[in-house]
């Protein structure tokens, strides 16, 4: 029995790192889509820069990991390894589906939906922490709104300051600035997104009795950071095309504004120990800079497709993870 429990923990760790790896190439576009689209950075260089800074960002903080591990379920005793494994399978399934069709979606939403669905199957509504879930959902919903407003504000400020410069000179200067903004965006992405896998692994270790508290072990930090860095190096070209050009035709100045605003919103959420969707934040920022130039310049049909994927992410991940839990229990 002890050996079976240990094997389940190993399976959870492997699947959590797989989730982080997929998150790396699924969400690479968030950090580099604008700079690649405006040709500020060559694609290969952009991906390696993003991989390195995602790795460093993942080592920066673990506050969000404790939120993911402790705020969704009412207590570690209310979940087991089967629940956590099923949650990861549901999240991985939805990430791969949306990556395949090239629609940006939230890995954060997918993981939360997966954990909610499998926890409900195991212990019913008593397994869930309503106030914690509401706090996480509030941060996930409000962050893209804040990004849209912030992106619009920064873009208006930049146009007011630099609007009289010749377009060719303006683009040349902001191409260089985009390297810095893409770097900060990559670091922020790693600091916030890698914590989701850290939180799941730590929750599995705690529920299995392998650690006494929700403090994230060093080897978990390093493993999650490496997995995300390697995944980022794989790239996500379909989503880069959607994020970089199908929402709004980006120029270097608008790409810089979107990246700067996104990194500020995500880093603020990280400091507050709130998990947010980098996909939603970057999309909101791009829409914001588009609105600042002209409302009709934003391709709202693409935005509607993305919104549909966002709305479906939590329920579909929950629906997939629920039968996954039943199958795992039936097999083992």
pLDDT tens digits for the chain (332 residues)? 456 778 888 988 999 999 888 877 776 666 777 777 777 888 778 778 877 887 888 777 655 555 665 678 777 777 788 888 999 999 999 888 887 776 767 777 888 899 899 999 998 888 888 888 888 788 878 888 999 999 999 999 998 988 788 777 887 888 888 888 888 888 887 777 777 788 888 888 887 888 888 788 889 888 988 888 788 777 655 555 555 555 667 788 888 998 899 999 988 888 887 778 887 888 888 889 888 887 777 777 767 776 777 788 889 999 999 999 999 988 87
The beta strand positions in the chain, using DSSP E, are none
pTM for the model stands at 0.79
DSSP state of 272: T
Query: pLDDT value at position 87?
Result: 92
Give the Cα separation of 266 and 158 in Å (integer): 21
Phi/psi for 216 (5° steps) reads: -80, 120
Query: pLDDT value at position 15?
Result: 92
Query: pLDDT value at position 29?
Result: 63
Phi/psi for 2 (5° steps) reads: -60, -40
Give the Cα separation of 279 and 286 in Å (integer): 11
DSSP state of 73: B
Those residues with Cβ within 8 angstroms of residue 292's Cβ, 6 or more apart along the chain or in another chain: 151, 152, 153, 155, 156, 159, 257
Give the Cα separation of 276 and 294 in Å (integer): 27
Of 272, 267, 201, 226, residue with least CA distance to 54? 226
Phi/psi for 128 (5° steps) reads: -95, 150
Pair 290, 297: CB distance under 8 Å: yes
Residue ranges of alpha helices (H) inside 72-166 are 81-101, 107-123, 130-162
Of 57, 66, 62, 58, residue with least CA distance to 136? 66
Pair 193, 68: CB distance under 8 Å: no
Pair 108, 143: CB distance under 8 Å: no
The count of other CB atoms within 10 Å of the CB of residue 314 is 22
Domain count, the chain: 1
- Please tell me whether residue 274 adopts helix, strand or coil conformation: coil
What separation, in Å, do the N-terminal and C-terminal C-alpha atoms of the chain show? 11
Which tokens go with 274? 């709130």
Domain enclosing residue 255, as ranges: 2-331
């Amino acid at each position: 029995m002890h050996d079976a429990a240990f094997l389940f923990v190993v399976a959870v760790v492997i699947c959590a790192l797989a989730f982080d790896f997929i998150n790396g190439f699924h969400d690479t576009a968030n950090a580099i889509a604008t700079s690649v689209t405006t040709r500020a950075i060559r694609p290969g260089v952009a991906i390696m820069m993003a991989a390195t800074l995602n790795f460093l960002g993942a080592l920066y903080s673990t506050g969000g990991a404790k939120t993911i591990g402790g705020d969704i379920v009412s207590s570690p005793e209310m979940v087991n390894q089967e629940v956590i494994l099923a949650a990861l399978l549901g999240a991985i399934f939805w990430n791969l589906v949306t990556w395949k069709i090239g629609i940006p979606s939230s890995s954060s939403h997918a993981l939360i939906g997966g954990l909610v669905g499998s926890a409900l199957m195991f212990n019913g509504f008593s397994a869930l922490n309503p106030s914690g879930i509401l706090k996480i959902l509030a941060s996930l919903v409000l962050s893209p709104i804040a990004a849209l407003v912030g992106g619009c504000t920064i873009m208006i400020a930049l146009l007011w300051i630099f609007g009289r410069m010749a377009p060719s000179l303006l683009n040349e200067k902001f191409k260089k600035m985009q390297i810095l903004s893409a770097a900060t965006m990559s670091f922020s992405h790693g600091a916030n997104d890698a914590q989701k896998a850290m939180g799941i692994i730590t929750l599995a270790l705690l529920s299995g009795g392998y650690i006494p508290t929700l403090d994230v072990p060093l080897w978990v930090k390093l493993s999650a950071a490496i997995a995300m860095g390697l995944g980022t190096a794989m790239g996500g070209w379909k989503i880069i095309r959607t994020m970089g050009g199908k929402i709004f035709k980006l120029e270097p100045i608008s790409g810089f504004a979107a990246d700067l605003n996104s990194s500020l919103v995500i880093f603020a959420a990280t400091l507050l120990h709130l998990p947010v969707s980098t996909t939603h934040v970057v999309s909101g920022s791009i829409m914001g800079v588009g609105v600042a130039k002209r409302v009709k310049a934003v391709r709202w049909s693409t935005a509607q497709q993305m919104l549909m994927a966002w709305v479906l992410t939590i329920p579909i991940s929950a629906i997939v993870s629920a039968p996954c839990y039943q199958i795992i229990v039936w097999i083992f």
